[in-house]
Amino acid sequence: MTERLDARRPDAPTLAGQYLPGEVEQRRYEQWVAGGHFRASAESDKPPFTIVLPPPNVTGSLHMGHALDHTTQDALIRRKRMQGYEALWLPGVDHAGIATQNVVERQLGAQGLSRHDLGRDAFVERIWRWKAESGGAILGQMRRLGDSVDWERERFTMDEGLSRAVQTMFKALYDDGLIYRAERIINWCPRCLTALSDIEVEHTDDDGELVSIRYGDEVVVATTRAETMLGDTAVAVHPDDERYRHLIGTEVELPLTGRRIPIVGDEHVDPTFGTGMVKVTPAHDPNDFEIGQRHDLPSRTIMDERGVITAHGPFQGLDRFEARPAIVAALREQGLVVAEKRPYAHAVGHCSRCRTTVEPRLSLQWFVNTSPLAKAAGDAVRDGRVKIEPAELAKRYFGWVDNMHDWCISRQLWWGHRIPVWYGPAGEVVCVGPDEEPPAGDGWHQDEDVLDTWFSSALWPFSTLGWPEQTPDLAKFYPTSVLVTGYDILFFWVARMMMFGLYAMDGRQPFDVVALHGMVRDEHGKKMSKSFGNVVDPLDWIDRFGADATRFTLARGANPGGDVSVSEEWCQGSRNFCNKLWNATRFALLNGAHTQGAMPSATELSTVDRWILSRLAHVTAEADEQFEAYEFGKVCELLYHFAWDEVCDWYVELTKPTLAGGGPAADTTRRVLGHVLDQLLRLLHPVIPFVTEELWIALTGGATVTTAAWPGADRELVDAAAEAEVSTLQRVVTEIRRFRSDQGLRPTQRVVARLDGLAGAGIAGHEPLIRSLVRLDEAGADFQASATLTMPGEVCVALDTRGSIDVAAERARLAKDRAAAEKEAGQARTKLDNPAFVGKAPEPVVRKIRDRLAAAEADLARIDAALEALSS
């Protein structure tokens, strides 16, 4: 890109020869925070726009999922801030009960201690100390990504205000009969020794063994968990199954135990699966528990909290995984094993923290009665108070809230919000609110359990704004505007916030829009996993390519509800894009581009200037539409191609002759060039904030682009005639460049040429510009055309290439290229002429071969034309 130092304004700032993110990002971020540009005020008369950041775990570090989530939220909040909204992006972290307790317990274990050695109070104090010293590292990493959050409002789910909100909510639900204590089947981790929420259980297809066991002459059941048979209290069949209807109401002896158990008829049984008979272990399987409830079956717990067998007999004291083969061996010895299938792949739940196999277990726990709350959450979406983007994911949401089970909210941990219930010496149960004193006296004690982390997270949209107090923040910023999160927690977190928000805030929804994105995957569409070796650390990319390149790579792949594929190569391309903007702005400054003074009138503008202003108006309007639809990928594609293709590759190049010529025309173009870059940098700022801040300040002299006005689409600048004229000019230049390349002419090599038909194409006034762009000199008296190019619109370009190219060498090169193209075309035709291939191959594969044939035939036509031109 040519530079003209002599045209630079004396007061214009200079930009370094290349963009170095490491020298810009921290400096600019500190300036933004110090300047208060991210602060929001409840006293402002601007319309509010609120996002509460989904709180990352206090133990967490920035991963690609966070980076995507934060990039899209930041893009929304930065744009709304520029549009004149009182934009609040509220940050904070979650106390992450199980994960945090595990971290500190591991530290104690390294010292040969356990939490029980310290006692509850000292252990909790130890966690608070860890949190102060080491927790929340992700908050600093958010700064590196460029998150424009209001740091003065940072919250923690265990801080005093949010703890008060939790206790208030529990008390209200308890008093309304929506919280109760009961024995139910829950997910249990024998290593963490606590109940788990569904989201804390990760299912994988593990290899196990399916064993078919004979319980009686006509009774055969199959199981992958043979050890649980010790707790069987029935065998179930479908009541309409003709094979077994006569057995309903009879009994059968349970092997290895001598106990007799009934055979019951239950519609839950699938008669087409296996033998059509299932063993019923109510204390160790959720479906069996429901069968047991319907038939009043006893529940026999046969293992303790650590997964050790407690049932009396030869297997007592064995770990569950030791007992399983021992029981199968005993059954086999008695001739009761009918069949064994090994390996047998089946879904197995694992604790997401420690990877221990989860055990369904009957346990006394606290539950939320979700029925009325879930109905309200479904109604809020159905009646339009809350909009889910993309709309097709609303079906998944309804599938969950319309069939929700009661929510187990108690956890057997020491770190978390302790359940505010006290038990008295005579069996009294008292729930205590935040402004009430707990019962005093001998024999009273508080429940030992803490609340599920998701309980406090469900309050996040309003507890962070001061609820249960009626604060100015709550009045100004609730309901929040949009929740941006992954579709994978649509049920686990979004639905719970909906239930609690509608309940606590008198039917007012916690957010107006739920904008869902997918998972981040590698360039092959594969899930990122340590076991696959394809995990990418966003901090590594930030170090190597810059935060803007990392953000742009993620945002460019983000479409509502869809997964996002990323690769290092694409991030390198995003870095190149930032460099392209840098170089274009640097060129503009060195050539006197500016934003001072009024824009020139339409009569002062050249066709090229009117064209780029018209394109800017179109792009601005389209970018607005796509931002409002949460189409981040389309926004990035639009702005990328406008910036790279139209502004940098065309407009900057088209303006060079004008800028070099000086005079009023150059002054006009300098102002237009400054305006276009000014508006482009504003449009790009929400996604790539650092480089746009540096460039915009250098270009305009403004304080910061973070609070600059968002561009408006000026429809008066739309100029269809200018766009059509420049489009023709672009086609002519592109064809001449391609023709020159085909003729073997170097890009910098000047060639004598005659241009005919420009007037008929409506671009006669652009002949000097065309000649400048494609290195063509005027034809003299001795001109002799040796190559001719004819284009649509009767434009004809005749070139005198004598002495410019080695005809023999060029003919040999083209002949080699033609042979390669002919070979490619022949291979494609052979496949397409084969009915077996066309009939059996997938349509995308066949289409790809057809595309290869079309491309090869186009190459042949181009090469033949070039050879013919050489011959003439």
pLDDT in tens, 796-833: 998 888 767 667 777 887 888 899 999 999 999 999 99
pLDDT at position 3: 45
Residue 526, domain member (yes or no) = no
Asked whether residue 205 falls in the same domain as residue 347, the answer is: yes
**What is residue 492's DSSP assignment?**
I
Asked whether residue 755 falls in the same domain as residue 711, the answer is: no
Residue 673, domain member (yes or no) = yes
Residue 604, domain member (yes or no) = yes
Residue 162, domain member (yes or no) = yes
Residue 121, domain member (yes or no) = yes
Asked whether residue 471 falls in the same domain as residue 506, the answer is: yes
Asked whether residue 627 falls in the same domain as residue 770, the answer is: no
Asked whether residue 510 falls in the same domain as residue 599, the answer is: no
Asked whether residue 295 falls in the same domain as residue 174, the answer is: no
Residues whose CB is less than 8 angstroms from the CB of residue 715 and which lie 6 or more positions away in sequence, other chains included:
617, 621
- Which residue stretches of 199-356 are H helix? 286-295, 320-333
Given 488, 517, 546, the domain boundary residue is: 517
Asked whether residue 43 falls in the same domain as residue 142, the answer is: yes
* Backbone angles phi and psi of 546, in degrees to 5: 100, 155
Structural domain range at position 601:
5-17+561-718
Q: Read out DSSP for 648-710? A: IIIIHHHHHHHHHH-HHHHHHHHHHHHHHHHHHHHHHTTTSHHHHHHHHHHHH--S-GGGSPP
- Annotated binding-site residues for ATP read 530
pLDDT for residue 89 is more than 50: yes
The CATH number of the domain where 239 resides is what? Answer: 3.90.740.10
Given 718, 750, 767, the domain boundary residue is: 718
pLDDT at position 1: 43
Residue 22, domain member (yes or no) = no
Higher pLDDT, 518 or 269: 269
Asked whether residue 704 falls in the same domain as residue 567, the answer is: yes
The CATH number of the domain where 655 resides is what? Answer: 1.10.730.10
Residue 127, domain member (yes or no) = yes
Asked whether residue 698 falls in the same domain as residue 821, the answer is: no
Asked whether residue 353 falls in the same domain as residue 204, the answer is: yes
Asked whether residue 714 falls in the same domain as residue 732, the answer is: no
Peptide bond into 792 cis (omega under 30): no
pLDDT at position 6: 42
Residue 23, domain member (yes or no) = no
Number of domains within the chain: 4
Asked whether residue 643 falls in the same domain as residue 688, the answer is: yes
pLDDT in tens, 392-417: 999 999 998 999 989 999 999 999 99
Given 685, 718, 751, the domain boundary residue is: 718
pLDDT in tens, 729-758: 999 999 999 888 887 888 889 999 999 999
- Annotated binding-site residues read 530
pTM of the model: 0.85
pLDDT in tens, 544-582: 999 999 999 999 989 888 888 889 999 999 999 999 999
pLDDT for residue 871 is more than 80: no
β-pair partners for 213: 221, 337
